[in-house]
Chain A
Amino acid sequence: MTDPQIERKLIEIMRVISESDKPIGARNIADELQNRGYNLGERAVRYHLRILDERGFTEKHGYNGRTITTSGRKELDDALIGDRLDFVITRIEELIYKTDYDPFSKKGNVIVNLSTVDKDDFDNAIDVMKYASSGDISISPNIKIFEEDSDPRVYVPPGCVNIATVCSITFDGLLLKSGIPIKPAYGGIIEMEHNDPVQFLDMISYSGTSIDPVKIFMMRHETSVLDVLDTGNGRILANMRNIPSSAIDKTKEVLKYLEDSGIGGVLSIGDSSDAMVGAPVEEGMAGILVAVGVNLVAAVEEAGIPVATSPVSMVLDYSEMSKL
């Protein structure tokens, strides 16, 4: 294994290349690295690029610069676990910062999840989502559909359609913009009775994992969102975040504006483990429990339609989204 210091520089260079939509040259890579706090000159970048080429992670296109290869992308997914241990939360912070939805004009960025379904299943999936959005188990009935090559921001696999749903982390972004210190704490699966949350069955913290907690629970197929919609009883996905107890009133005010503008899904606010249905809450803090946006998608999976979801994917202007 190479020296960790060099390894880190190699990975950072690969990240810069992978984030560029066209081939990028050593000069520009060096500038971008400077932005990120890596002091690496153009010559040093060239040296590192040769190593990357030799390993088959990058590819040279004449004088235009380099692009990343498939095995390079794979390497990015696998490398530097020490960094990625808290990467889920770091990435979320980036998106929280970009959230600027305004509940009065109903414009501005919200955070969305992206779910991929096969084109042939698309109509059925939308029907299920429409039905699911009638209940109180998700955040917003608004979605956006991406088809193959319809938008340069989103990669859609051949023969598939991507559906963007509003992500619960949007709340964190908006509360932060209102000056409330907030951090997503746990994602998990909750037992519902008569449409009320009663008990967290299992939960995973947003820090301390390299895979998004909500994604983990999606893959475990333990939800029964459709049962909750039919009978009020069953299991849905939810997440919680913590705020200082003193900010409860202000928080309720912000959440009220949001609900009036069509973004809801808050299950409860409270400062005891009872209110948070079993999740720990620190002294002096209060939790906010929110039904996650991908419950709509979990319902689609329960109906037997295969879906692949990546939660907390990107930001999107709410005015670009339309009602199911």
Chain B
Amino acid sequence: MINKPHRVQFTSSRIEDLMFRTTFDPVAMAGDVIVNLSLIKGEDLESILEVYALAIRSGLSVSPFLKIIKGGESIGDFRISKGDVGIATVCSITIDGVLLKGGVMINPKLGGVVQIKNGHPVRFTDVVTYVSTTIDPLEVLMSQDVTSVTQMLRTGSGKILANLREAPLVARDDLDHILSDMLDAGISGIMEVGEPNSRVLDVPVERDHLGVVVIGGTNPMAMAKEQGFEVRTNAMSTLIDIDEMKHVDDFV
């Protein structure tokens, strides 16, 4: 019974909270990262791990690290029910958190579907901005049958999930340094860094800003869904220490 309605929370404010709580340091390779949680049936674990491994090795994720949480155990405040298994993967908003802690005023703007042609990103074809939704845009888009991640891996052309943030032009050097530190730390999902004052993958940016497009951490889930597996996603669910996560090669 709900007595008094509570105000809904939009994704943009949830993101800011998570960015503030990010403590990951790419140079020391330590600290907390933001994770997406996928809940799957226990018996599907092995086949879904294969799908995730394929997606991750093909570069369709933010990082190769993941954590498996068994039924009955908890992650953050979330308890996995018996019979289920949780897979935590690094969420792309981690990059925004690290940039923020590095002093770059970063503004996560939207999540969308990016069309890839022969291995090259062409443009966003559908988008949902963070300020306009209470559900993560990538979760929204995953349910709209607009992705074709599996096809993209098979043929080099297809539509995958990605998100866009804007950074002020003045912070460009810091931005470049931090992104390259992230790359060294294996957080490698950066798809495109735009030129200042010009559209990035067809999306206009604010004046004296540049756009940074990062591959959505939820692409492996979208791929598993496309192949008919039941995956319940809980994007941007919580933060965990990177030490608790292991490289995908340790599982498959």
Contacts and interface: CB of A to CB of B under 8 A. Distances in A.
Contacts of B125: 77-78, 81
Contacts of A1: 122-123
B144 A277 contact: no
B127 A80 contact: no
B5 A278 contact: yes
Interface stretch (A33-41, A93-101, A202-210): A202-210
B164 to A, nearest CB: 10
Contact of B127 (A79, A81, A188, A216): A81
A204 B203 contact: no
A193 B1 contact: yes
Interface size grouping (class) on chain A? 20 to 34
A310 interface: no
A200 B134 CA distance: 10
B123 to A, nearest CB: 6
Interface string B129-171: 1011111000011011110000000000000000000000000
B7 A280 contact: yes
Contacts of A4: 199
Contacts of A219: 143-145
A274 B4 contact: yes
A10 interface: no
B5 A81 contact: no
B191 interface: no
B133 A209 contact: yes
B243 interface: no
B97 to A, nearest CB: 23
A225 to B, nearest CB: 18
Most chain A C-beta atoms within 10 Å of own C-beta, residue among B6, B115, B128: B128
Contacts of A203: 8, 133-134
Across the A-B interface, the 6 shortest Cβ-Cβ residue pairs: A208-B132, A205-B132, A208-B129, A78-B125, A278-B5, A204-B133
